[in-house]
């Protein structure tokens, strides 16, 4: 018999009883009963029990079998027999039969294993629990062994299945898979690029794509009309536990379409994908604007598997006498809160005050939290005494509060801060109190994002600069106007995670130019970075839009794995490192020399004197925070050069006297300090008399962004 | 390779002096913004700093409590950097000549015994202002509140003796206990009156050189300090194992994600001696007065509690850690009560009540005198433990006498045998099967019947007497 | 408003009684000496629109002694040098005396140029409370006047301890009232031989004429040596630049002063506001300070060591003679025209030693004259010997008057 006649272990069953079969695979587990030896033989299809016993197998085969160890790769010939009643193993699919071996060939031996691989017990009713303490790095170092485990193989098979469904479905819908380059141009799209040096152009670099964004838009200009690709993308971002430097994206783009087309296309496609995991998603997916999402959950990817959405209580306190609220509202702030229904028994005063108000919520960035327990006859808290009756009634009404509820509120002058802190609090409480139902999938489209976000220097794109705004009549110089723009972008969110997102793109060169202007990019910069792309917009670019989906994350969600590394064959670990290949690694200097990379950066190299002086002045501009203009530069450089000479002079004449900082001795001049006095100028407000800008009792300055 | 961590802590503690360090403004950062500011702390041109004697003295007492040697001469320097929270463009701090050096605290070592952790030096400095960030329309702006600017701090710089998150947390707790005892500082990380920065480096176990350190900031609880250090040790170990270099920089602890993240390096400016602030020259006489201000410290006090009151070392430790509690204990125990009983009532009843109310003893209505009268009634059997607890709760609230409360609340323990007899009769009549059980030898039944009887007496029965009578009746 | 004044007071103060020591004396101040309610910009855009909330101690004392504050003059930016300075010119135009900051010799050099008396008291004698200063360890409020008596009257009023200035030393007060009118020699005056190299021929002749005048009233002139003399300038430059950089740290546009409309974040706000606030040569001086602070702290420390030595050497020499005598100014180095740090220093070479050592020094007009050019005669005394110094100056001045 040759391998061509080989059958698969996991597919054998009662109909095969009596057949002679040839099997090949790995020894999953062994059980030695002296005369008789049982093994589990495993191939990709599953496991079957093989019996070596003196009768059917013969002494020679039995002797050979006695030398088997876990994970030997073997070839077995034998006859399928029905197991004796009472010895069936329902834990494996082939549990009703076994194979009585007649021949055994060891194809390849295995050394001592770094961790156990078998996941199935040989004894009926007992589950072989794999030791979960195997460290992930060890698993990754021996990934080829880790991937022998049926669970891991199942993940890869299902991943393949999901991808196949995507390809088939998109093919049905007229999409064409087109490959785009991996070696491309570095463009500022948000994250840092992975760079690849070029040998032919020393000190020049390709970049690995962060997404095929520009190429897929170019394909639309080319008239491909419907493109997709399951494509690897690369981002050199800060490490996060569930982030990979390279990841797979389902990327698609279509011309002559509106948002509704993509919603419907994507809903049908994701419904089909989730069926692989036995999940039936309800269509249509609900939609929510970004503003509603922030106002209700404090997140742009709301987890709506549970309630506890925000209520705004700002108006309840319009005329409040409570100092803290009064001050916050006076500065244009807001107050939002949540009602933790019926949880007052589990949220004691102590937990609320000492854990949440003092530790947890400040950790979310809020200055404080107001808590109230709803009891018979009203509210109980350390601060309700400061609230008027009307305010107390207002709270009860606004939060539809009943006895046993706990109301938590956050107040701050900053709306984003209130949303963000309360959003984190909502998730924290839901997690702690077990309010999140398992096995529920809640897909949601989030729409109407702001087109721009404010930064220290102006604005930046929330999505990317090719996103179509909701209005085109804006002035790119006016930050306020820019920040009010919405984008025609949409995110697909599920259970608090973003699965994908996209937008309708700009296909008008003039509009695209104005967006770049708004972003503060100079014409030269735009030309340098995007010239090739903008040129394409001058040749009849069709209206188009698209969307992308993070395949790793979606597959992980479909299969319910704790991390995306479980659905990637050879992932990097949490530190973006590959324990299997030890990548990244240093390279020989000869390699660097060949690429012209040895003398980049110039650290430690002396620069010509003039340049150094120039550097010194600029350094001093920065450390002393005094700007200079070109007319002053020469005088200042001369003065600094003088200072250097003076420094040399004093150094050469210093002597060994103690340094004197004052010609008079002044010691122990203290004031009593036991009675404090509020300054009359603070009382009269004169303290602000000379202030360039004052606001609500504070000195106002330009943003300090930390 | 096995690595060990080398940890040094820089701890800022806000002193609770009445005024700021260099002017008479109230040392109350939390007041209405900029209420506690004046031309000096705002550093309006033409003003001069004037050192507070009270702050200097409190700083000195704090140094002494941490076993530091006060330096004969100390002086203020200008630590130069520019930031809107710093009105002068420099911070007055002691860099070249700190107030004190060479201190220590003892902690319970992880593997038993004591470990002495050394303090390199302690210096005084002024705090900076507080920034509030918000948006105006869509424009981000910041607001400055100078109430905190100029409030007095001491910075306690440890030697790099600390080896684990545990030791770091114990070190902080030990500092806190000592400083709170002196009454010079509140030391609350949550309230921001104690702020901890950790310098962490790792090295192969058994080696003695110091590797590049990383500074971690922004921890707002002692537990966070431990977590941040543990995270940083793991992160640096991973770096070294991968052959990456550790770079000198500052990281921020993110209490939500429980990780540290790199922050833009803050510029370390120069320190220039300030030409205007008077130097501090310590006289022997003054130093002696400062030493006299130091109270009996917890370690000493615990020893005394063992010899003077016969407490066990554990009890003595529990009674001495907090100064208020220790004084309350002593005040109560002196009134002729069993010191063990006082200890027991403080630890198991009073302390949890205070914690739940988030109050100190001083903030309640309770006095040692009334507490002692309550415990005396308990000892005499006038009330039982259940009643004593109820009354204690009321003593925290008002000045009523414990005796009145006993009468008003009908807490008087029932020791009237005929009344108890009646209760027992009822119980035995209703539970004949259980009585039978007991007689067959199941002694557990007594507890069950006791519970029923106590309940029938509404918790007021004298439990000792009740048990005696019940057992007698059953037997 | 004349070009001399930046602010002219409407004199509504109640006329002082005849008993007030300064009754009717008209005083001009530089706008870095705080007067509540007056604009005090210290000649800098950094203090644009700044109005102090409190009077400087000096102002409080002048007011209560019955002096009339006529207004504030123009001044060099933050009192560094004399570029644009007008307070001494006011002496002919409505003021009797000018109170001005002397950081490197400004009061003396300005007086010498205009032919007036100028006095810089010992360091630590006059309160700095309310002085918008630049170099705390060297500067003090000096006085310029047409005669020495009014200077003595002003000093009598403004010298002495002030609880608002805790940096003043615990020393007994200097009694200016006992200053003898008409000091009679003999006294010993030293000329520092190392200083003579700084003079050109005309100046050397003029200085000789001044010395002759002193000998005429009975002074014994002898040549002395200060080995470290050539280092005064380097020490002053290093220490003053560092202190100036620190002092100017408060000009950040947060609580007062000029704020640039540029800058969407605080870094930009700082850079732009501070960049627009300072002009040359102050700006260049601040860069020198930043250089020592951030790049070469060792040089600052070395300068402080040398300062200690210079103070010791000066004290030693002044143990052997009563006073040291120098010319006040050099003709070729016009302090009003100095546009660079180097030029500013060149114009104060002869006066800055008194600031480094905290010694009192007085400028006397009319005796160091050659070919009609008066370079000024400067007499420097021991610290706290201010009263005797002024009486010696009076004696010389009277002899000039007598012819």
Q: What pLDDT shows up at residue A608?
A: 35
- Distance of residue B54 Cα from the nearest chain A Cα, in angstroms: 5
Give which of B123, B36, B115, B117 is closest to B71, Cα–Cα: B123
Q: H/E/C letters for each residue in A181-221?
A: CCCECCCCCCCECCEEECCCCCCCEEECCCCCHHHHHHHHH
The whole-angstrom separation of Cα B188 and Cα B220 is: 9
**CB distance B51–A480 less than 8 Å?**
no
Give per-residue pLDDT as tens, A619-634.
Answer: 899 889 999 998 898 8
Percentage of chain C surpassing pLDDT 90? 79
CA torsion B442→B444→B449→B455, rounded to 10°?
-170
Instruction: Tell me what pLDDT residue A610 has.
Output: 38
Q: Is the pLDDT of residue C345 over 90?
A: yes
B364 and B252 fall within a common domain: no
Which H helix or E strand runs over C204? helix C201-216
Q: From the CB of residue A692, how many other CB atoms can be counted at a distance below 10 Å?
A: 19
Question: Chain A residue closest to C163 (CA)?
Answer: A671
Q: For residues B2 and B90, give the distance between their C-alpha atoms in angstroms, rounded to a whole number.
A: 43
How many domains does one find in chain C?
Answer: 1
Structure confidence at residue B177 as a pLDDT band (50, 70, 90): very high
In this predicted structure, the answer to whether residue B165 has a pLDDT above a threshold of 90 is yes
In this prediction, residue B111 carries a pLDDT of 86
pLDDT, tens digit (0-9, with 9 covering 90-100), for A458-483 = 888 888 899 999 999 999 888 889 99
Give residue A604's pLDDT band: very low, low, confident or very high (50, 70, 90). Answer: very low
pLDDT of amino acid A220:
97
- Whether residue B440 sits in one domain with residue B394: no
Boundary of a domain, candidates B371, B387, B408:
B408
CA torsion sign for B21, B26, B31, B35 is: negative
Whether residues B394 and B435 share a domain: the answer is: no
- The DSSP code for C45 is G
State how far the Cα of A360 lies from the Cα of A354, in Å rounded to an integer: 9
Tell me, what's the pLDDT at A93?
92
- Give the number of domains in chain B: 3
Q: Are residues B75 and B175 in the same domain?
A: yes
Give the SS3 label for residue C263: coil
Contact list, A614 vs chain C (CB under 8 Å)? none
Identify all chain C residues contacting B84, using CB atoms and an 8 Å cutoff.
Answer: 252, 254, 266
Q: Closest Cα of chain A to B38: distance in Å? A: 5
Token pair recorded at residue B230: 């543990």
pLDDT computed for residue C185 by the predictor: 59
Residue A642's pLDDT band, with cuts at 50, 70 and 90, is very high
Those of residues 608-637 in A touching chain C at CB distance below 8 A are 616-617, 619-629, 632, 635-636
Question: Do both B155 and B275 map to the same domain?
Answer: yes
Candidates A333, A673, A690; nearest CB to B55: A673
Look at residue A611 in the predicted model and tell me its pLDDT: 43
Mean pLDDT for A666-686 is 94
In degrees, rounded to 5, the angle at the alpha carbon of residue B88 between the alpha carbons of residues B82 and B91 is 75
- Report yes or no: C355 and C120 within 8 Å, Cβ to Cβ: yes
Token pair for C316:
């030693």
Choice between A394 and B249, residue whose per-residue pLDDT is larger: A394
Task: List Cα–Cα distances, A388 to A316, A368, A391, in angstroms.
Answer: 10, 21, 5
Average pLDDT of the residues of chain C: 92
Mean pLDDT of chain A: 90
B157 and B35 belong to one structural domain: yes
What does the alpha-carbon distance between residue C143 and residue C150 come to, in Å, rounded to a whole number? 9
CB pairs under 8 A between A and B: 180
- Mark yes or no for CB contact B84/A413 under 8 Å: no
On chain C, the residues whose CB falls within 8 A of the CB of B39 are 53-54
Question: pLDDT-based confidence at A607, cuts 50/70/90?
Answer: very low
Exposed/middle/buried for residue A395 (C-beta within 10 Å: 0-12, 13-18, 19+): buried
> A258 or B439: whose pLDDT is higher?
A258
**pLDDT tens figures, A549-599:** 999 999 999 999 989 999 999 999 888 888 898 888 877 777 777 777 765
- Do B134 and B176 share a domain, yes or no? yes
The residue-averaged pLDDT of C126-147 equals 96
Q: Which of C54, C130, C255 sits opposite B87 (nearest CB)?
A: C255
User: A609 vs A614, A616, C298, CA distance in Å?
Assistant: 9, 10, 22
Residue of B nearest to C164 (CA): B48
The alpha-carbon gap from C87 to the nearest alpha carbon of chain A, in Å, equals: 26
Residues of chain C contacting residue A621, judged by C-beta atoms under 8 Å apart: 271
- For domain A306-436, say whether CATH 3.30.1360.30 is its number: yes
What's the ipTM? 0.87
Find out whether B298 and B325 touch, Cβ atoms under 8 Å.
Answer: no
Which residue in chain C is spatially nearest to B268 when comparing CA positions?
A: C294
Cβ contact (<8 Å) for B45 and C243?
no
Q: Binning pLDDT at 50, 70 and 90, where does residue A133 land?
A: low
For CA atoms A474, A477, A480, A482, the dihedral sign is positive
The torsion of the CA quartet A14, A20, A21, A22, rounded to 10 degrees, works out to 160
CA C304 vs. chain centroid, Å, equals 21
C253:A692 CB<8 A: yes
Instruction: For residue A627, give the chain C residue with the closest CA.
Output: C275
A156-289+445-449+487-507+542-567 to CATH, choices 3.90.110.10, 3.40.50.300, 3.40.366.10, 3.30.930.10 = 3.30.930.10
Segment A78-101 shows an average pLDDT of 93
**Chains touching chain A at 3 or more Cβ pairs under 8 angstroms?**
B, C
- Rounded mean pLDDT of A196-223? 91
The residue-averaged pLDDT of B201-213 equals 85
Statement to judge: residues B71 and B110 lie in one domain: yes
- For C266, the closest of A653, A692, A702 (CB atoms) is A702
For chain A, percent of residues with pLDDT exceeding 90: 68
Tell me the nearest-neighbour CA distance from C308 into chain A, angstroms.
5
> C243-268, pLDDT tens digit by residue?
999 999 999 999 999 999 877 788 88
Pairing of strands C219-224, C187-192: parallel
CB B374 within 8 A of CB B391: yes
* Lowest pLDDT segment from A126-135, A356-365, B122-131: A126-135
Q: Of A193-197, A262-266, C118-122, where does mean pLDDT reach its minimum? A: A193-197
CATH number for the domain formed by residue range(s) A3-108:
2.40.50.140
Q: Do A639 and C288 touch (CB under 8 A)?
A: yes
Do residue C167 and residue B80 have CB atoms under 8 angstroms apart?
Answer: no
Q: Is the pLDDT of residue A186 over 50?
A: yes
pLDDT tens by residue, A498-507: 999 999 999 9
**Which of A210-219, A381-390, B204-213 bottoms out in mean pLDDT, i.e. has the lowest?**
B204-213
Quick one: pLDDT at residue B456? Answer: 78
Interface of A with C in 509-568 (CB under 8 A): none
Among the partner-chain residues C234, C275, C280, the one whose CB lies closest to the CB of A635 is C280
Q: Which of C168, C272, C311 lies at the smallest CB-CB distance from A660?
A: C311
Give the span between the Cα atoms of A9 and C75, in whole angstroms. 100
Tell me whether residues A677 and B238 touch, CB distance under 8 A. Answer: no
Is A431 a residue whose pLDDT tops 80?
A: yes
Residue partners of A386: CB distance under 8 A and separation at least 6:
A321, A322, A323
Residue A519 has, within 13 A of its CA and on its CB side, a CA count of 24
Q: And the tokens for A412?
A: 């701050």
Tell me which chains share at least 3 CB pairs under 8 Å with chain C: A, B
> How near does any CA of chain A get to the CA of B382, in Å?
33
Closest residue of chain A to B19, computed from CA coordinates: A676
Decide if B36 and A674 are in contact by the 8 Å CB cutoff: no
Mutation target for A interface from B129, B137, B140: give the one with most A CBs within 10 A: B140
Same structural domain for residues B423 and B398? no
Determine whether the interchain pair C246/B278 forms a contact, defined as Cβ–Cβ distance below 8 Å: no
Residues A423-433: what's their mean pLDDT? 94
DSSP, res A521: -
Continuous segment of H or E residues that includes residue A650 = helix A630-652
**Nearest chain B Cα distance for residue A486, angstroms:** 14
Residue A602 has pLDDT above 70, yes or no: no
- Note which residues in 80-109 of chain A have CB less than 8 A from chain B: none
Radius of gyration of chain B (CA): 29
Tell me: do B255 and B281 sit in the same domain. Answer: yes
**CATH number of the structural domain spanning residue C287:** 3.90.1300.10
Q: How far is A629 from chain B (nearest CA, A)?
A: 20
Best of C137, C161, C302, C339 to substitute, by most chain A Cβ atoms within 10 angstroms, is C302
pLDDT at C219 over 70: yes
For C296, the domain range is 5-402
Nearest Cβ partner for A456 among C137, C265, C306 = C265
Q: Which of residues 267-286 of C touch B (CB under 8 A)?
A: 270
The arithmetic mean of pLDDT across residues B243-272, rounded, is 77
- Asked if residues C379 and C393 have their Cβ atoms less than 8 Å apart, the reply is yes
CA-to-CA distance for A670 and B76, rounded, in angstroms?
13
Size of interface B-C (CB pairs under 8 A): 91
How far from A315 is each of A311, A339, A619, B103, CA to CA, in Å? 11, 17, 51, 55
Residue closest to C375 by CA, chosen among C314, C323, C334: C334
DSSP A285: P
Q: Which helix (H) or strand (E) is C241 found in, with range?
A: helix C232-247
| pLDDT band, very low/low/confident/very high, at A51 (cuts 50, 70, 90) | very high
CA A11, CA B114: separation in Å to the nearest integer?
66
Q: Residue C297: what pLDDT?
A: 93
**B441 and chain C in contact, CB less than 8 A:** no
Nearest CB partner across the interface for B43, out of C129, C250, C304 = C250
Q: Chain A residues with CB inside 8 Å of B138's CB? A: 454, 479-480, 483-484
pLDDT at A600 over 70: no
pLDDT at A706: 53
Tell whether the model's pLDDT for residue B266 goes beyond 80. no
**Given B236, B254, B285, which residue is the final one in a domain?**
B285
Give the nearest partner residue to C287 out of A624, A651, A690, using CB atoms: A624
For residue A409, list its beta bridge partners: A337, A370
Please state, in angstroms and rounded to a whole number, the distance separating the CA atoms of residues C292 and C288: 6
Indicate whether this model's pTM tops 0.90: no
To the nearest 10°, report the CA torsion of B315, B316, B322, B327: 110
pLDDT digits over B12-66, tens only? 999 999 999 999 999 999 899 999 999 999 999 999 999 999 999 999 999 999 9
Range of the domain at B438: 417-474
B303 lies in the same domain as B395: yes
Beta bridge partners of C73: C5
- CA distance to partner chain B, nearest, from residue A191 (Å): 17
Each residue's pLDDT tens digit, A291-314: 999 999 999 999 999 999 999 999
- For A690, name the nearest residue in chain C, comparing CA atoms only: C256
Helix B417-430 and helix B444-456: axis angle, to 10°? 120
Taking residue C1's Cβ as centre, other Cβ atoms within 10 Å add up to 8
Q: How far, CA to CA in Å, does C256 sit from each of A625, A692, B311, C31, C265? A: 17, 6, 62, 16, 18
Please indicate, yes or no, if residue B95 is contained in any of the structural domains: yes
So what's the pLDDT on residue B430? 83
| Residue B291 located in a structural domain | no
Taking the CA atoms of chain C, what radius of gyration do you get in angstroms? Answer: 20
- Residues of chain B with C-beta less than 8 angstroms from the C-beta of A586: 243
pLDDT category, A36, cuts 50, 70, 90? very high
Q: Across the interface, do C266 and A623 touch by the CB < 8 Å criterion?
A: no
Of B266-275, B459-468, C336-345, highest mean pLDDT: C336-345
Q: Where are the domains of chain A?
A: 3-108, 156-289+445-449+487-507+542-567, 306-436
Same domain, B84 and B135: yes
Alpha-carbon gap: C123 to the closest alpha carbon of chain B (Å): 12
Q: What radius of gyration, in Å, describes the C-alpha atoms of chain A?
A: 35
A positions 440-479 inside 8 Å of B (CB): 454, 456, 479
């Amino acid at each position: 018999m040759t391998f061509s006649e080989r059958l698969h272990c996991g597919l054998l069953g009662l109909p095969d009883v009596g057949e002679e079969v040839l099997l090949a695979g790995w020894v999953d587990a062994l059980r030695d009963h002296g005369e008789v030896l049982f093994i589990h033989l495993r191939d990709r299809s599953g496991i079957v029990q093989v019996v070596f016993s003196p009768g059917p197998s013969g002494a020679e085969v039995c002797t050979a079998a006695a030398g088997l160890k876990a994970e030997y790769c073997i070839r077995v010939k034998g006859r399928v027999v029905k197991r004796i009643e009472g010895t069936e193993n329902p834990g494996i699919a082939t549990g009703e039969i076994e194979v009585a071996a007649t021949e055994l060939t060891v194809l390849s031996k295995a050394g001592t294993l770094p961790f156990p691989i078998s996941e199935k017990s040989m004894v009926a009713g007992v589950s072989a629990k794999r030791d979960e303490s195997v460290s992930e790095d060890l698993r990754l170092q021996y990934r080829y062994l880790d991937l022998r485990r049926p669970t891991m193989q199942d993940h890869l098979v299902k991943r393949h299945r999901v991808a196949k469904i995507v390809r088939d479905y998109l093919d049905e819908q007229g999409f064409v898979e087109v490959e785009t380059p991996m070696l491309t141009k570095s463009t500022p799209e948000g994250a840092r690029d992975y760079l690849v040096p070029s040998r032919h152009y020393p000190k020049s670099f390709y970049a690995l794509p962060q997404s095929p964004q520009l190429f897929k838009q170019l394909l639309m200009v080319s008239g491909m009309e419907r493109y997709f690709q399951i494509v690897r993308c690369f981002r050199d971002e800060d490490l996060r536990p569930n982030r990979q430097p390279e990841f797979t994206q389902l990327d698609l783009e279509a011309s002559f379409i509106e948002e509704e087309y993509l919603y419907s296309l994507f809903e049908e496609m994701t419904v089909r994908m989730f069926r692989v995991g036995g999940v039936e998603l309800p269509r249509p997916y609900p939609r929510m604007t970004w503003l509603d999402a922030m106002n209700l959950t404090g997140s742009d990817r709301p987890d709506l598997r549970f309630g506890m959405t925000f209520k705004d209580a700002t108006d309840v306190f319009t005329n409040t006498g409570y100092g803290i609220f009064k001050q916050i509202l006076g500065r244009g702030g807001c107050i939002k809160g949540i009602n933790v229904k019926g949880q007052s028994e589990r949220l004691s005063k102590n937990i609320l005050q000492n854990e949440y108000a003092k530790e947890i919520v400040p950790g979310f960035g809020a200055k404080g939290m107001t808590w109230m327990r709803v009891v018979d006859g009203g509210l109980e808290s350390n601060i309700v005494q400061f609230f008027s009756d009307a305010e107390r009634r207002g709270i009860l009404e606004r939060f539809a509060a009943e006895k046993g509820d706990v109301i938590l509120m956050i107040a701050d002058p900053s709306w984003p801060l209130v949303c963000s802190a309360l959003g984190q609090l909502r998730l924290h409480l839901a997690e702690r109190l077990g309010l999140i139902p398992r096995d529920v999938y809640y897909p949601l489209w989030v729409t109407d994002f702001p087109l721009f976000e404010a930064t220290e220097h102006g604005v930046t794109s929330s999505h990317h600069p090719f996103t179509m705004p909701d209005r085109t009549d804006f002035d790119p110089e006016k930050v306020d106007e820019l920040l009010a723009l919405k984008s025609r972008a949409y995110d697909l969110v599920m259970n608090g995670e973003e699965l994908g997102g996209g937008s309708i793109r700009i296909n008008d060169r003039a509009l695209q130019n104005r967006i770049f202007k708004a972003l503060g990019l100079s014409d030269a910069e735009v030309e340098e970075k995007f010239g090739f792309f903008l040129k394409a917009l001058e040749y009849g670019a069709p209206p188009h839009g698209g969307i992308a989906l993070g395949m790793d994350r979606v597959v992980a969600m479909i299969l319910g794995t704790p991390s995306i590394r479980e659905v990637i064959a050879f992932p990097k670990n949490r530190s973006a490192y590959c324990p299997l290949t030890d990548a990244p690694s240093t390279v020989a200097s000869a390699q660097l020399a060949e690429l012209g990379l040895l003398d980049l950066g110039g650290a430690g190299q002396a620069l010509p004197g003039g340049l150094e002086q120039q550097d010194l002045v600029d350094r001093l501009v920065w450390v002393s925070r005094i700007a200079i203009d070109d007319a002053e530069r020469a005088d200042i450089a001369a003065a600094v050069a003088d200072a250097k000479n003076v420094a040399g002079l004093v150094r050469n004449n210093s002597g060994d006297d103690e340094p004197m900082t004052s010609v008079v001795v002044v010691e122990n001049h203290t004031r009593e300090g036991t009675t404090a006095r509020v300054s009359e100028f603070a009382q009269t407000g004169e303290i602000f008399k000379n202030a360039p800008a004052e606001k609500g009792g504070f000195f106002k300055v330009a943003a300090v962004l930390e | 390779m096995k690595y060990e961590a080398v940890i040094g802590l820089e701890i800022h503690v806000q002193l609770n002096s009445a005024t700021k360090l260099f002017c008479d403004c109230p040392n109350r950062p939390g007041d209405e913004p900029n209420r506690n500011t004046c031309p000096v702390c705002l550093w309006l041109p033409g003003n001069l700093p004037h050192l507070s004697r009270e702050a200097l003295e409190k700083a000195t007492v704090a140094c002494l409590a941490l076993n530091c040697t006060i330096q004969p001469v100390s002086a203020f320097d200008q630590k130069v950097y520019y930031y809107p929270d710093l009105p002068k463009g420099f911070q007055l701090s002691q860099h070249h000549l700190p107030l004190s050096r060479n201190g220590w605290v003892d902690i319970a070592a992880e593997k038993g015994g004591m470990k002495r952790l050394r303090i390199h030096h302690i210096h005084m400095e002024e705090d900076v202002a507080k920034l509030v960030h918000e948006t105006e329309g869509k424009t981000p702006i910041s607001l400055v509140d100078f109430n905190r600017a100029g409030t007095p701090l001491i910075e306690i710089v440890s030697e790099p003796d600390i080896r684990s998150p545990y030791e770091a947390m114990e070190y902080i707790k030990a500092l806190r206990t000592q400083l709170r005892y002196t009454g010079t500082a509140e030391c609350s990380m949550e309230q921001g009156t104690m702020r901890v920065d950790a310098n962490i480096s790792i090295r192969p176990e058994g080696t003695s050189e110091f590797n590049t350190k990383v500074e971690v900031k922004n921890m707002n609880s002692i537990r966070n300090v431990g977590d941040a250090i543990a995270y940083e040790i793991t992160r640096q170990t991973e770096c070294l194992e991968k052959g990456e270099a550790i770079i000198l920089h500052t990281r921020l602890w993110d209490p939500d994600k429980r990780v540290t993240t790199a922050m833009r390096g803050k510029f370390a400016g120069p320190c220039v001696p300030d030409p205007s602030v008077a130097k501090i020259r310590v006289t022997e006489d003054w130093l002696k007065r400062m030493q006299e201000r130091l109270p009996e410290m917890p370690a000493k006090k615990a020893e005394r509690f063992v010899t003077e009151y016969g407490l066990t070392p554990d009890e003595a430790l529990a009674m001495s850690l907090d100064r208020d509690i220790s004084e309350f204990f002593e005040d109560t125990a002196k009134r002729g009560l069993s010191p063990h009983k006082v200890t027991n009532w403080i630890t198991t009843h009073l302390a949890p009540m205070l914690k739940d109310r988030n109050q100190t003893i001083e903030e309640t209505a309770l006095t040692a005198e009334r507490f002692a009268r309550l415990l005396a009634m308990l000892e005499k059997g006038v009330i039982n433990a259940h009643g004593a607890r109820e009354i204690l709760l009321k003593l925290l609230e008002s000045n009523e006498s414990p005796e009145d409360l006993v009468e008003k609340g009908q807490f008087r323990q029932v020791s009237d045998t005929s009344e108890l007899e009646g209760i027992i009769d009822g119980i035995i009549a209703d539970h004949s099967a259980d009585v039978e059980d007991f007689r067959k030898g199941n002694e557990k039944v007594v507890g069950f019947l006791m519970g029923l009887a106590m309940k029938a007496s509404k918790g007021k029965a004298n439990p000792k007497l009740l048990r005696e009578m019940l057992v007698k009746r059953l037997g | 408003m004349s070009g001399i004044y930046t602010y002219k007071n409407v004199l509504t103060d109640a006329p002082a009684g005849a008993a007030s020591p300064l009754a009717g004396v008209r005083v001009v101040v530089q706008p870095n000496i705080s007067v509540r309610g007056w604009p005090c910009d210290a000649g800098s855009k950094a203090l644009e629109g700044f109005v102090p909330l409190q009077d400087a101690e000096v102002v409080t004392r002048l007011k209560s002694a019955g002096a009339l504050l006529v207004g504030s003059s123009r001044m060099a930016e933050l009192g560094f040098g004399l570029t644009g300075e007008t307070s001494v010119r006011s002496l002919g135009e409505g003021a009797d005396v000018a109170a001005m900051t002397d950081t490197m010799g400004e009061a003396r050099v300005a007086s010498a140029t205009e032919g007036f008396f100028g006095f810089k008291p010992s360091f630590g004698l006059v309160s700095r409370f309310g002085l918008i200063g630049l170099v705390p360890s060297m500067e003090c409020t000096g006085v310029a006047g047409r005669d020495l008596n009014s200077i003595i009257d002003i000093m009598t009023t403004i010298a002495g301890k002030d609880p608002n200035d805790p940096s003043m030393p615990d020393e007994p007060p200097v009694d200016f009232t006992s200053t003898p009118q008409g000091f009679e020699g003999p006294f010993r005056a030293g000329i520092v031989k190392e200083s003579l190299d700084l003079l050109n021929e005309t100046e050397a002749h003029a200085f000789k004429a001044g010395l002759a005048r002193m000998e005429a009233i009975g002074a014994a002139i002898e040549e002395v040596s200060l080995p470290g003399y050539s280092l005064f300038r380097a020490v002053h430059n290093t220490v003053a630049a560092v202190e100036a950089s620190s002092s100017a740290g408060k000009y950040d546009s947060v609580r007062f002063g000029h704020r640039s409309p540029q800058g969407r974040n605080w870094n930009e706000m700082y850079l732009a506001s501070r960049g627009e606030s300072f002009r040359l040569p102050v700006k260049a001086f601040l860069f020198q300070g930043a250089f020592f602070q951030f790049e070469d702290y060792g040089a600052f420390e070395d300068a402080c060591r040398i300062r200690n030595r210079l103070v010791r050497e000066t004290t030693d020499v002044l143990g052997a003679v009563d006073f040291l005598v120098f010319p006040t100014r050099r003709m070729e180095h016009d302090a009003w025209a100095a546009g660079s740090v180097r030029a500013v220093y060149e114009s104060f070479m002869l006066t800055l030693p008194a600031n480094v050592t905290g010694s009192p020094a007085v400028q006397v007009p009319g005796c160091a004259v050659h070919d009609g050019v008066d370079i000024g005669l400067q007499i420097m005394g021991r610290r706290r010997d201010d009263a005797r110094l002024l009486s010696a100056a009076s004696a010389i001045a009277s002899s000039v008057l007598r012819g």
